[in-house]
Amino acid sequence: MTRILIRLIFLMMISLSVHALEIEGVILPETKQLDDKLLLLNGAGTRSKFFFDLYVGSLYLQNKSSDAGSIINADEAMSIRLDIVSSLISAKKMTNATLEGFEKSTGGDMSAIKPQIDQFLSAFKEEITEGDTFEFIYVPNKGVLVKKNNVNKETVESLEFKQALFGIWLSDDSVQTSLKEDMLGL
């Protein structure tokens, strides 16, 4: 009986390791449950700047896709997760970098979603430390749920806002081409 139990535990441990991706010490589950939707890990990579790894970015979709434009424009449940892996990131730096990302993602015209951007940025007011996790979950007809360390911080309404937000990582003028490609599974 003990041998059977040990084998069962061993097999469960093997199956768990097969169903997760590890990047920079961050273990990313292959799937996430969002209400009645199952989201699949589409891809993940590391955001680096000046040879420093800052965070692991991962993209979860209902159906895997490498078509950035379709993902950005889709009105369906999806999520982007950022796992902070550097002590160099502060609340101020995250806010400034995110604003730059919105600027690029919107082609320089953020006016239509400025109130939503301001609301979104309030999620970065608390200090950010290595090991923190942010998740931006788009739910149709509800908006983008913003979570920090699994705690709800904001819900930002508007498909147009979601498109600009996801465009930070997936648009033609994304924050980092290699991260975009990794998130798209290319």
- The reported pLDDT for the residue numbered 18 is 46
- The reported pLDDT for the residue numbered 186 is 86
Residues of the chain with pLDDT under 50: 2-18
Strands (E), the chain: 20-23, 26-29, 31-34, 37-49, 52-61, 78-84, 133-139, 143-148, 151-156
What confidence tens digit (pLDDT) does each residue in 98-138 have? 999 999 999 999 999 999 999 999 999 999 999 999 999 99
The overall average pLDDT reported for the chain is: 90
What confidence tens digit (pLDDT) does each residue in 170-180 have? 999 999 999 99
Predicted model pTM? 0.87
How far apart CA 39 and CA 138 sit, in angstroms, is 11
Residues 67 and 51 sit within 8 Å (Cβ to Cβ): no
Domains of the chain: 22-183 (3.50.70.10)
- The reported pLDDT for the residue numbered 51 is 87
